[in-house]
Amino acid sequence: MTPNLVSLTRRALFAVATLVALPALAQTPIKFQLDWRFEGPAALFLASQAKGYYKAAGLDVTIDAGSGSGATVTRVASGAYDMGFADMAALMEFHANNPDAANKPVAVMMVYNNTPAAVLTLKKSGITKPADLSGKKLGAPVFDAGRRGFPIFAKANGVTGVQWTSMDPALRETMLVRGDIDAITGFSFTSLLNLEARGVKTADIVVLPFPAWGVKLYGNVIIASPKLLKENPAAVKAFLSAFLKGAKEVMARPDEAIAYVKARDGIIDVALEQRRLRMAIDAVVASPDARAEGFGQVVPGRMALMASQVSDAFATKTRVDPNAVWTDAYLPPRAELTILPPLRK
């Protein structure tokens, strides 16, 4: 073997040994909690995990199912989770009722530009508009976002004298079908499909979405703990950028994206969750308001109005400060935020 060849061989072996000795690049761990179970809309977050976008951004992201927005906010505040997905009203309520809490989560990206909250009833009830709800029996779990925000809906539409019945989420639609209550509140794309699953024809269901009746509350946002924002702002920015890549692909091909949800919950009804995801995209993610304001962003005046409405409706200990619950400091450039699918003709 010639001297030059020996030298090249030694250098090559040294390079290989060096690469083997190098530790794997550190991945920043991020514990993320959803607002609810692994259903269609969860694909917006699961896609970036399945396709390796979080990992490519230097993050080791774990995504867990949730049990309601209020619980997600509390768990991020406690430090059990670094980030989460929760209803803006629930976040506002936590801030205003816990003014001295050291770790109040902050919203860093708007995902549901409109609240999915709606009142649902059956045509046989004779209820066709909000005013018809006066004096009626309504039902929902005590933590339901629509029930919590109902005073705002009632004030906007002159509804009075409503009587509430509480139940577990699994019984909500069943009690409506049985006639135990006149109407329910819930997410439109959840309760509608649950009623159909109980044998009710779509044509026999009346849906009164809050946004369609004068209540333009913001819906679910990505939240982060102040500790993470302070100690590793780059990780938050990386998460949001990686999320956008997956979410854009999900909105372009929603039916295919349910595979990511089924990978986390093998017993889901694929066709049902495909429909739920499409409904969520159309109603609250790529809504006309979202297109006007820009995905991920908020309008300060609209946010301030919601803060005032939540303060009144939830009877919070202190007034909600809109500047304390929201920041756009971690949002990617506007070009990256342009992810909404084209309007269907």
pLDDT of residue 11: 47
Distance CA 189, CA 41 (A): 10
What average pLDDT score do residues 77-99 get? 97
Note the pLDDT tens digit of each residue in 284-306: 999 999 999 999 999 999 999 99
Class of CATH domain 117-213: alpha beta
Contact status, residue 306 vs residue 324, Cβ threshold 8 Å: no
Phi, psi of 117 (to 5 degrees): -60, 140
pLDDT tops 60 at residue 60: yes
Distance CA 96, CA 316 (A): 6
What average pLDDT score do residues 5-11 get? 43
Strands (E), 66-122: 83-87, 106-110, 117-122
Give domain 28-114+218-337's CATH number out of 3.90.1150.10, 3.20.20.140, 3.40.228.10, 3.40.190.10: 3.40.190.10
pLDDT of residue 4: 47
pLDDT tops 60 at residue 1: no
pLDDT tops 70 at residue 184: yes
In terms of DSSP bridges, do strands 28-33 and 59-64 run parallel, antiparallel, or are they unpaired?
parallel
pLDDT tops 60 at residue 20: no
Identify the bridge partners of residue 106 per DSSP, sorted by sequence position: 224
Q: Which letter does DSSP use for residue 26 in this model?
A: P
pLDDT tops 90 at residue 7: no
Decide if 28-114+218-337 and 117-213 have a common fold. Answer: yes
pLDDT tops 60 at residue 9: no
Q: How far is CA 208 from CA 26, 132, 164, 311, in A?
A: 49, 11, 17, 23
Phi, psi of 116 (to 5 degrees): -80, 0
Q: Where are the domains of the chain?
A: 28-114+218-337, 117-213
Distance CA 290, CA 33 (A): 24
End-to-end CA distance of the chain: 71
What average pLDDT score do residues 19-46 get? 82
Rounded to the nearest 10°, the torsion over CA 217, 34, 232, 299 is -10
- Report angle CA 172, 161, 143 to the nearest 5 degrees: 35
Identify the bridge partners of residue 32 per DSSP, sorted by sequence position: 63, 83
pLDDT of residue 345: 67
What are the contacts of 153-158 at 24+ separation with CB within 8 A?
153/117, 153/119, 153/210, 153/213, 153/215, 154/130, 155/313, 156/130, 156/213, 156/214, 156/215, 157/129, 157/130, 157/131, 157/213, 157/214, 158/130, 158/131, 158/134
pLDDT of residue 81: 98
Compute the residue count for the chain: 345
pLDDT of residue 25: 54
Distance CA 46, CA 63 (A): 8
Note the pLDDT tens digit of each residue in 92-151: 999 999 999 999 999 999 999 999 999 999 999 999 999 999 999 999 999 898 999 999
pLDDT tops 50 at residue 6: no
Identify the bridge partners of residue 62 per DSSP, sorted by sequence position: 31
Note the pLDDT tens digit of each residue in 258-281: 999 999 999 999 999 999 999 999
Distance CA 246, CA 228 (A): 22
At residue 13 the predicted structure's pLDDT band, cuts being 50, 70 and 90, is very low
Contact status, residue 293 vs residue 342, Cβ threshold 8 Å: no
